[in-house]
Amino acid sequence: MHIVIAGGHGKIALLLSRLLADAGHRPTGLIRDPEQSADLRSAGAEPVVLDLEKSTKEQVASALTGADAVVFAAGSGPDSGPERKLTVDRDGAVLLAEAAVAAGVRRFVVVSSIGADEYDPSSNDGMQIYLKAKSEADAAVRALDLDWTIVRPGGLTNDEPTGLVTVAERSDRSSISRADVAAVFAAVLETDQTIGKQFEVVGGSTPIAEALTGLGGPTKAE
């Protein structure tokens, strides 16, 4: 499969690119900074310079044309202000999803956040705005004619992968390694069982493939 990953230089995206490349897929990473290209190539991905905050839907769709799947893994980062949490984490995801529709790419997978729908709408706290951005982006993706999967990881760590997770519609607020999140996304892209599913994932005791099988079959027709 040819898989385009927005936010291609992120930690999860680089780990995912390596997993996909090693499995025989062709990952492409969308990046803003051309100086990051070498890191993507080292991870097995082809870099494409494209800034979601400065691109039109038509420009993004052109970058997605011919892909089999798209992954939104971009993020404004913990040090960003409230405005960029909305323009990247929300608007970037929506733009990418709409561009996927325009490009005829049905499979669309989102890196969201645990507890995204539980934000405080009256708060100006950065985390609450981030959760609001994720929640609104997820809702917009669900409303589009896509074969979507929305994955909401718990707190991210740089621990070694275990291959063991807990997957549920709602889970506790525990953590999960970025490496295990990347492995979950690699598995999600390999199975139609996750189409039309939104779930939280944290570290656990169930092998990833088994945990995803427990979600049941797809809820949207391809």
> Where do the domains of the chain lie, and which CATH numbers do they carry?
2-213 (3.40.50.720)
Among 49-53, 118-122, 175-179, which is the least confidently predicted range?
118-122
How far is the C-alpha of 58 from the C-alpha of 24, rounded, in Å?
A: 29
Q: What is the pLDDT of residue 216?
A: 67
Q: What angle do CA 132, 217, 185 make, to 5 degrees?
A: 50
pLDDT at 58: 98
CA 118, 143, 179, 40 torsion-angle sign? negative
DSSP letter (8 states) at residue 143: T
Other C-beta atoms closer than 10 Å to the C-beta of 147 total 19
Average pLDDT over residues 162-166: 97
Reply yes or no on whether the pLDDT at 97 is more than 50.
yes
The secondary element (H helix, E strand) that includes residue 107 is strand 107-111
SS3 71: strand
Give the Cα separation of 112 and 72 in Å (integer).
9
pLDDT value, residue 218: 52
Could you count the other beta carbons within 10 Å of the beta carbon of residue 14?
Answer: 25
* The one-letter amino acid at 95: L
Cβ contact 217:186 at 8 Å? no
User: Does the active-site annotation cover 119?
Assistant: no
Nearest 5°: phi and psi at 58?
A: -65, -40
What tens digit of pLDDT does each residue of 25-50 get?
A: 999 999 999 999 999 999 999 999 99
Catalytic residue, candidates 72, 108, 119, 130: 130
User: Using CB atoms within 10 A of its CB, is residue 80 exposed (0-12), middle (13-18) or buried (19+)?
Assistant: middle
Q: In whole angstroms, what is the distance from residue 47 CA to residue 26 CA? A: 11
